[in-house]
Structure 1
Amino acid sequence: MPCLDYLYINSFSNINLKSELKQAKKQKPDYKQLFKQYKILFNNPQYILSFGSDLVGRITSRWGDEKAYWEESAKALISFVFLGKNSVGIYYGDELGTLRAKIKKDYKFNNENFNELKRYYELKNISNQEFYEAQSLQNKWMSYTQMSWDSNLVFNKNKLFALNYKENNVETEKAQPQSPLNFIYELINFYFNSEFKEILNEAQLSIKSSKKGVLKLVYTTYEHKQIIIYLNLSNKYHKIVIEEGSSILISNYYNRFYSEIPSWLNPYELLFISKN
């Protein structure tokens, strides 16, 4: 039997954090670099893609939304690693929407030199507040929050708890059909058990992207059957053009009713579309 080597890739999370000075300031997503790396990896199942990393803070807090769009942004980030022909790694809970750790205002991120660092970056025109905000999002200790089994702190052994541990735990997410956990089940079933699995597994895959955070993937068979995927990783609305007669197969907006083909993507919206 052939022996295949798999390479685990989670470097996406460290984009824009290549220097200590960048780590000291809150960094926005660099979609250009993200998609540049993704285009090298998305078409090969020997690459295992993941956002989870113990070197940097939680991805949903950093690139997604902690409040109104929490579920949608978590599911958008899940989708990013699922959409291509690569393999998928779910290890740290980032793909389930786990947020950064809940900490006290005097927390020093397990660094005995934290106060000296603040003074050092003040000399670099980075205020204490700006530095602390960056650390609360990007410091590696903010990722040390396991997904809790339930919302009861007594039975969970973690020293650090995620901001959303009461909503983002196994028992709660299992019971809520719109949760990121159940959305992963939906994606798995669609890719491997639905009537479209042959198209997704055998068709040619092409990709287009935008520096504004929109990704378009197209699965095309030799019979010209197509599944088109739009993914908006940003918190902005973006205009799209979808041919008449197309059908929406999946959306990560659980309660949105599509009476017609949309011409705009909502923040963090994902659409699977069948071109008839």
Structure 2
Amino acid sequence: MEKKWWHRSVVYQIYPRSFKDTSGNGVGDLRGIIEKLDYLKELGIDVIWLSPVYKSPMDDNGYDISDYQDIAPEFGTMADMDELIEEANARGIRLVMDLVVNHTSDEHPWFLEAKKSKDNPYRDYYIWRDPAEDGGVPNDLGSTFSGPAWEYDETTGQYYFHLFSKRQPDLNWENPKVREEVHQMMNFWLEKGIGGFRMDVIDLIGKEVDRKITGNGPQLHPFLQEMNHKSFGNYDVLTVGETWGATPEIAKLYSDPKRHELSMVFQFEHASIDWDPQEGKWRPTTFDFIKFKEIMSKWQTSLNGEGWNSLFWNNHDLPRIVSRWGNDKEYRVETAKMFASILHLMQGTPYIYQGEEIGMTNVHFESLDQYNDIETLQFYRDNLKKGYTHEQMMDAIWKNGRDNARTPMQWDGSEHAGFTTGQPWLQVNPNYESINVSNALDNKDSIFYHYKKLIDLRKNSEYSDTIIYGEYKLLLPDDEQIFAYIREDENYKLLLVANFSEEEVTRAIEGEVNQVILSNYDATDYNLSSLKLRPYETVIFELKK
């Protein structure tokens, strides 16, 4: 496989609304990100994935764009954006923009025009259908945010299609003019010197609504190949697609370099392992550790040499991993370091979500009024009608609601965690006085410095090529408590062993230790023939070959 710069990179996702506010309006902004670039440089990351900062009415916190080539006033100006790109690049940090092109805002000029009449030049930029014979919706396709995916327009007597909020009408990708507009917009940003795109729900752009096909439609890959050819394929950039329905075979279609589509995709098989198959995340089920190891390992081995993995636990849509599958109370630090080690020693490009590097936790707001997320509030309203109890729904929100990841970044122990001098748009997690960046930087044994060591190990150590390109082999697949695997190439053989439990365990593992590379406890003398591990203890060894 041809080596690429992003094979060696570590990405840090910023949800700008919650990162750092410099204006005092309670909303994070671009100047706040500029202010914290040296912090990110200290961590060691070299790519920022920036969630949307485009002009937007913020129905879905910026994932509803009304102007792709302007900045939302609450985040700043285009001059701020240009400065951010320049200042990041000066520190060796590339900026990856969030690309949301499955849909726009209903306030986008294209849609405002499209609604005027059936023969408007922009009408075919969106998906319209006549009512069914009974006068109702054209078909039974549903919105991800619940309810039908069709909204009636009184002016023209037709329905328009929206897979998300009714204020997020889907673009008609079968219209070549739409594709041309998108390619031009992407080139506008690429010319500014950005480092690539993260592509929101990109697996939906090939949809065929009449055949009720939404994900992985027949035109999806031709559309992506055309996009590659007419925009980012002409630049040395990173592209990552959000693909909820991807299998390893589908992921290879996207990320095999020979196909000229994307650098990599986000797959969510591991991220949905404890969701009910029918009800989804709002009906959490038991975490299956054996299946989890199997899924993680399948993706490691299946894409090796033919595609590329994105490695992540958290993002703006997912609850925080230390609370979800770990112990965020007495073993919060050990758990957070364990998850970091497991992920960063795998093959692929690791993604860190803001606050993950200091072990930020899920939030437990008592009142529904304290939540902001459109999906969460819609879920509550809809399921109250279905007979769910308030207690059932709040429990699901505490476990899996998107606002778990969106509470403001905890910078220090001052009011509002140093995020803002004003009233934050979303309440800060009450544990900010103990869990914050200032405390983490003052403690050389903190989660932050563990991440820093892992990043350095991947990017700057003698083991870099082994971690990035070496073969992966799962050990002890049926063990109920241990996650252990080997990474090996012609030069080195590395072993990671993680105790994924709150109990002390002893296991026998084949091999002879050359040295301990990194541990999340004070390292002791480890004997592989009788390896004793404390709760959540995780060790990376170099073995004799």
Which of structure 1's runs of 4+ aligned residues deviate more than 6 A? none
Cα distance, 1:50–1:115 mapped onto 2, change above 3 Å: same
Match of 1:75 in 2: 337
Q: Secondary structure at the match of 1:42?
A: helix
One-letter amino acid matched to 1:9: F
Q: Which residue of 1 aligns with 2:410?
A: 148
Q: Which amino acid aligns with 1:147?
A: M
Which of 276, 287, 292 is 1:29 aligned to?
287
Task: Report 1:27-106 matches (<5 A).
Answer: 27-42=285-300, 44=304, 46-105=308-367
Pairing of 1:202-213 with structure 2 (within 5 A): 203-208=470-475, 209-210=477-478, 212-213=480-481
Structure-2 separation of matches of 1:175 and 1:50: 26
Give the AA of the match of 1:150.
D
SS of the residue aligned with 2:439?
A: helix
Distance in 2 of aligned mates of 1:236 and 1:147: 32
Q: Distance in 1 between matches of 2:516 and 2:449?
A: 19
- Say whether 1:194 aligns with 2:461: yes
TM-aligned CA deviation for residue 177 of structure 1: 1.4
Q: Do 1:92 and 1:146's aligned partners in 2 also have CA atoms closer than 8 Å?
A: no
Q: Which moved more, 1:16-25 or 1:64-73?
A: 16-25
Deviation of 1:270 (Å): 1.0
Matching residue within 494, 515, 531 for 1:263? 531
Match of 1:214 in 2: 482
User: 2:395 maps to which residue?
Assistant: 133
- When residues 20 and 146 of structure 1 are mapped into structure 2, their CA distance, relative to the original with a 3 A threshold, is farther
Alpha-carbon distance in structure 1 between the residues aligned to 2:277 and 2:336: 27
Contact 1:101 1:144 in 2 (8 A): no
Normalised by the length of structure 2, the TM-score is 0.44
Q: Percent same amino acid among aligned pairs? A: 18
Distance across 2 between alignment mates of 1:16 and 1:245: 36
Separation in 1 of the partners of 2:379 and 2:342? 37
Larger Rg over CA atoms:
2
Kept in 1, the 8 Å contact 2:281–2:400? The answer is yes
Scaled by the length of structure 1, what TM-score is found?
A: 0.80
Greater mean deviation of Cα atoms: 33-42 or 109-118: 109-118
Q: Which amino acid aligns with 1:268?
A: Y
Give the Cα separation in 1 of the matches to 2:274 and 2:457.
33
> What is the SS of the residue equivalent to 1:90?
strand
What do residues 105-164 of structure 1 show as CA deviations (whole Å, max 9, x unaligned)? 565745277477458455xxxx65454333212122222123222221244234222343
Range with greater deviation from structure 2 (171-180 or 210-219): 210-219
Query: Which of 452, 456, 476 is 1:185 aligned to?
Result: 452
**Cα distance between partner residues in 1 of 2:494 and 2:369:** 48
Identify if the C-alpha distance between structure 1 residues 258 and 196 changes in structure 2 by more than 3 Å, giving closer, same or farther. same
Give the number of equivalent residue pairs: 269
Partner AA of 1:167 in structure 2: S
What do residues 181-211 of structure 1 show as CA deviations (whole Å, max 9, x unaligned)?
A: 1111111222333343354445433223346
Amino acid in the other structure paired with 1:251: S
Tell me the alpha carbon deviations over residues 202-260 of structure 1, each in whole angstroms, 9 at most, x when there is no partner.
5433223346252222133446x52211123333444321458523221112xx34144
One-letter amino acid matched to 2:263: Y
Give 1:165's aligned amino acid: Y
Are 1:172 and 2:439 counterparts?
Answer: yes
Partner of 1:228, secondary structure, is strand
Separation of aligned partners in 2, 1:79 and 1:97: 13
1:216-255 correspondence to structure 2 within 5 Å? 216-222=484-490, 225-242=492-509, 246=513, 247-253=515-521
| 1:119–1:187 Cα change, 3 Å | same
Q: Is the 8 A contact 1:147 1:168 kept in 2?
A: no
Task: Mark the runs of 5 or more structure 1 residues left unpaired by the alignment.
Answer: none
Give the counterpart letter for 1:39 in structure 2: S
Say whether the 8 Å CA contact 1:57–1:100 is kept in structure 2.
Answer: yes
For 2:284 and 2:470, how far apart are their aligned partners in 1? Answer: 40
